[in-house]
């Protein structure tokens, strides 16, 4: 049998989810057979799958040494370096300025070189995370940015922080995420775009459709740069490609957007200014009135400047 004392990082989750992470190579049938046979106990008492773990409790799992060796495979630490700007860090969260071109999570084409792996590697060598001992939780991002969008990404160092952050980003009532985008055309004033979005799972393409999920975007004028406009964008919903699709739908596509943009203008910008990236940056994050574990972040705002190549393009367009 194996005994584990639940830490603050691992508390506040269902016991079956913890056991799945602890025995991460075990089939689900094996996991739930343990519960049926009453081979999972807390402080000596059998518990059901939906029991919520508390800090300091002793979890006992009745498995043999041979089963444990086969089913417990700690996550390997990738030898990658976190050399991006850390905007803020405390014992619960880490806010990183993600560069354009880097995935937050791995996909079929790239699993190692991701921001998540870099953060895990950073916390491991800092002594705040050890996959051999921290069985029930792995530091993780609370939200995502597209590969070609740069800017702020928030990571949680423990489970309760991740749960609260995910709720914040889902509900969006007490957190504000703002972007800066350079768009084609002379945008003025302020506009709210309320148009449902539908994603084609086969192609990954997103379009406006009555059959889609509701999506609301607020766009405000920031500055004029020749035939282009710099705008501030706030999303009230978090749909895939929301900003890019919404801006393109009203005739102001994002400069450099290879999927929904103006391809002719993109080529002209590339040829004349050597700029071929998507001009979209998540530059500001504001916590409003929070409750619970992360209440101390209430009223705090975090902001980054635009990437160097975007600042350079604005200066070139100003001349």
pLDDT digit string, tens, across residues 88-143: 999 999 999 999 989 997 655 544 678 998 999 899 888 888 877 777 788 999 99
Q: What pLDDT does residue 110 have? A: 47
Structure-token match 């409790």, residue found? 57
What is the separation of C-alpha 298 from the centre of its chain, rounded to a whole number of angstroms?
20
**57 vs 55: CA distance, rounded Å:** 6
CATH 3.10.290.10 domain span(s) along the chain: 2-71
Determine how many CB atoms are found less than 10 A away from the CB of residue 289: 9
Pairing mode, if any, of strands 150-156 and 280-287? parallel
Closest CA to 122 of 89, 159, 167: 89
Show the tokens assigned to 2.
């194996």
Told to judge if 167 belongs to the known catalytic residues of this protein, a careful annotator would answer no
* CATH ID of 2-71, from 3.30.70.2500, 3.10.290.10, 3.90.600.10, 3.40.50.880: 3.10.290.10
Show the tokens assigned to 108.
């079929």
Q: 260-269 long-range CB contacts below 8 Å, 24 or more apart? A: 261/184, 262/184, 265/184, 269/313
pLDDT tens for each residue of 18-67: 999 889 889 999 999 999 999 999 999 999 999 999 999 999 999 998 89
Q: What pLDDT does residue 107 have? A: 54
Show the tokens assigned to 41.
């106990």
Q: What pLDDT does residue 108 have? A: 53
Share of the chain above pLDDT 90, in %: 71
pLDDT at residue 224 tops 70: yes
Closest CA to 25 of 69, 59, 56: 69
Share of the chain above pLDDT 70, in %: 96
Active-site residue, from 134, 146, 257, 262: 146
**Contacts with 51 (C-beta within 8 Å, 6 or more apart), sequence order:** 14, 15, 42
Mean pLDDT of the chain: 91
Show the tokens assigned to 69.
């060796």
What mean pLDDT comes out for the span 205-220? 94
Angle between helices 28-36 and 15-22 (to 10 degrees): 130
What mean pLDDT comes out for the span 69-74? 82
**148 vs 135: CA distance, rounded Å:** 32
Show the tokens assigned to 39.
């081979």
For residues 159 and 9, the answer to whether their CB atoms sit within 8 Å is: yes
Please give the C-alpha separations between residue 255 and each of 188, 227, 263, 278, 312, in angstroms, as whole numbers.
17, 11, 9, 6, 14
Q: Which residue has the higher pLDDT, 190 or 318?
A: 190
Q: What pLDDT does residue 138 have? A: 87
pTM above 0.95, yes or no: no
In the CATH hierarchy, which fold is given to the domain comprising 175-290+305-319? Pseudouridine synthase (3.30.2350)
Q: What pLDDT does residue 79 have? A: 60
CATH 3.30.2350.10 domain span(s) along the chain: 77-171, 175-290+305-319
pLDDT at residue 76 tops 80: no
pLDDT tens for each residue of 250-286: 999 999 999 999 999 999 999 999 998 999 999 999 9
Show the tokens assigned to 129.
């995370």
**Helix/strand/coil (H, E, C) string of the chain?**
CEEEECCCCCCCCEHHHHHHHHCCCCCHHHHHHHHHCCCEEECCEECCCCCECCCCCEEEECCCHHHHHHHCCCCCCCCCCCCCCEEEECCCEEEEEECCCCECCCCCCCCCCEHHHHHHHHHHHHCCCCCCCCCCCCCEECCCCCCCCEEEEEEECCHHHHHHHHHHHHHCCCEEEEEEEEEECCCCCEEEEECCEEECCCCCCEEECCCCECCEEEEEEEEEECCEEEEEEEECCCCCCHHHHHHHHCCCCECCCCCCCCHHHHHHHHHHHCCCCCCEEEEEEEECCCCHHHHHHCCCEEECCCCHHHHHHHHHHHC
For residues 70 and 14, the answer to whether their CB atoms sit within 8 Å is: no
Does the structural domain 77-171 have CATH classification 3.30.2350.10? yes
């Amino acid at each position: 049998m194996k005994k584990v004392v639940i830490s603050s990082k691992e508390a506040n989750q269902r016991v079956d989810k913890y056991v799945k992470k602890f025995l991460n190579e075990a089939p689900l049938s094996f996991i739930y057979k343990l519960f049926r046979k009453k081979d999972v106990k807390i402080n000596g008492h059998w518990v059901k799958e939906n029991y919520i773990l508390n800090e300091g409790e002793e979890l006992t799992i009745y498995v043999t040494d041979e089963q444990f060796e086969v089913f417990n495979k700690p996550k390997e630490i990738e030898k990658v370096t976190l050399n991006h700007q850390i905007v803020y860090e405390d014992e619960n969260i880490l806010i990183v300025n993600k560069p354009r071109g880097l995935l937050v999570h791995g996909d079929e084409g790239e699993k190692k070189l991701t921001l998540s792996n870099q953060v895990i590697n950073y916390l491991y060598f800092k002594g705040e995370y050890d996959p051999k001992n921290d069985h029930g939780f792995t530091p993780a991002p609370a939200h995502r940015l597209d590969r070609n969008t740069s800017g702020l990404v928030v990571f949680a160092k423990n489970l309760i922080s991740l749960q609260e952050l995910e709720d914040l980003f889902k509900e969006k009532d007490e957190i504000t995420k703002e972007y800066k985008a350079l768009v084609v055309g002379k945008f003025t004033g302020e506009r709210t775009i309320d148009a449902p979005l539908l994603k084609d799972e086969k192609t990954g393409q997103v379009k406006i459709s009555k059959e889609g999920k509701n999506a609301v975007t607020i766009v405000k004028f920031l500055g004029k740069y020749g035939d282009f406009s710099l705008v501030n964008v706030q999303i009230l919903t978090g749909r895939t490609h929301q900003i890019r699709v919404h801006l393109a739908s009203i005739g102001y596509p994002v400069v450099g957007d290879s999927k929904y943009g103006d391809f002719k203008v993109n080529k002209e910008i590339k040829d004349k200014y050597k700029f071929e990236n998507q001009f979209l940056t998540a530059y500001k994050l504001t916590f409003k009135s929070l409750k619970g574990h992360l209440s101390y972040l209430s009223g705090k705002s975090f902001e980054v400047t635009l990437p160097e190549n975007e600042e350079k393009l604005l200066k070139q367009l100003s001349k």
